[in-house]
């Protein structure tokens, strides 16, 4: 499991810089967060969100459409509160 910290609210953070082919991603904001975390693409923000997540909520996204792998480097997180964290697990192409 990896963890992203949004150091400054309103400033999106990329999950990972390197291109990484994935099939699915599991995400969960940390229980200690004091506000929502937003998960989505490079334009994710509180007003342009892919998914708003409250502390401790869990979700998964299937990202390999029509047998085309998704790219973990296309995923970003933003938060309402500075210091909020998001935990994630990515299922890589070729993994079970």
Which range marks the domain in which residue 38 is found? 2-92
What does the pLDDT look like over 56-74, one tens digit per residue?
Answer: 999 998 887 666 788 999 9
The domain total for the chain is: 1
Phi, psi of 61 (to 5 degrees): -130, 130
Q: What is the enclosing helix (H) or strand (E) of 59?
A: strand 59-62
* Model confidence, pTM: 0.89
What does the pLDDT look like over 19-58, one tens digit per residue?
Answer: 999 999 999 999 999 999 999 999 998 777 778 999 999 9
Give just the sign of the alpha carbon dihedral 60, 61, 62, 63. Answer: negative
């Amino acid at each position: 499991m990896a963890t992203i910290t949004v150091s400054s609210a309103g400033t999106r953070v990329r999950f990972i810089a390197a291109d990484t082919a994935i099939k699915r991603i599991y995400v969960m904001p940390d229980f200690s967060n004091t506000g929502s975390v937003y998960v989505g693409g490079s334009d994710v923000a509180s007003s342009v969100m892919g998914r708003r997540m409250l502390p401790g909520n869990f979700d998964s996204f299937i990202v390999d459409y029509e047998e085309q792998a998704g790219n973990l480097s296309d995923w970003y997180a933003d938060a309402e509160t500075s210091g909020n964290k998001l935990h994630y697990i990515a299922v890589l192409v070729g993994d079970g």
